[in-house]
Amino acid sequence: MEKKPILIGLTGGIASGKSTVIQYIRYQGYPVIDADKLGHRVLELGNPGYSKVVEKFGKGVLNKDKTVNRLVLGRIVFADPSQLKALNEISHPIIAEMVLKEFESIISEDSGGIVFLEAALLIEANWYNMCHHIWVVTLDAAEATRRLQKRDGLSESEARSRLESQLTAKERLAYADVVLHNNGSRKDLLSQTQRALEELQSN
């Protein structure tokens, strides 16, 4: 029997090790759709999101060449939760359409394929609804704080406030079909990833 194509949503909090897992998955030859990259395309001239953003936030967010000044837009939305919500309401459905289009394009070449969607906001943006399985990379809050401090040169309180601005591990894990625990070494995380991939192929 021919296998049906599968879209797997992969998510995790800041400093969870999501990038390490995705890098390994790519190395194993699986196609990956990057929601962040698609998010950047939403603001490009010619994308339906571009005109909606200009309409909502005004021409003050544009550079002289009519491109969106991400820095200016970022200052507006991160200073006011209602403005961030407005931007997300414009961009998230457009990104969802782009994900489905890219998924269809990939599986048209490999109909029984397994495709991964890397998305930090997989759950918050409701993109998990498009996925057949959800993989969550997780680690203890104290370890996440320590790694984020080290990675981005932040104080403990800065790191903690960034982590507290997103979903908790418990909220994320409620959606998980596969959980990759990253409290140990990189090698251990990649071993778990390899086992999950093997299980996927055997089903």
Q: What CATH number is given to the structural domain containing 23?
A: 3.40.50.300
User: Are both 80 and 179 inside the same structural domain?
Assistant: no
Q: Which of 58-72, 81-95, 149-163 has the lowest mean pLDDT?
A: 149-163
Cα separation, 11 vs 18, in Å, equals 7
User: Are both 83 and 119 inside the same structural domain?
Assistant: no
Position 151 scores a pLDDT of: 87
Find the domain containing 10 and state its range: 1-31+114-203
User: Are both 174 and 199 inside the same structural domain?
Assistant: yes
User: Are both 89 and 135 inside the same structural domain?
Assistant: no
User: Are both 121 and 87 inside the same structural domain?
Assistant: no
Percent of the chain clearing pLDDT 70 (strictly above):
98
Position 134 scores a pLDDT of: 97
> For 32-61, what is each residue's pLDDT tens digit?
999 999 999 999 999 999 999 999 999 999
State which of 64, 86, 112 marks the end of a domain. 112
Q: Output DSSP code: residue 68.
A: B
Q: Is the pLDDT of residue 102 over 80?
A: yes
Counted residue by residue, the chain has a size of 203
Position 25 scores a pLDDT of: 96
Provide the number of structural domains found in the chain.
2
State which of 112, 134, 156 marks the end of a domain. 112
* CA distances for 26 relative to 19, 23, 29, 116, angstroms: 10, 5, 5, 9
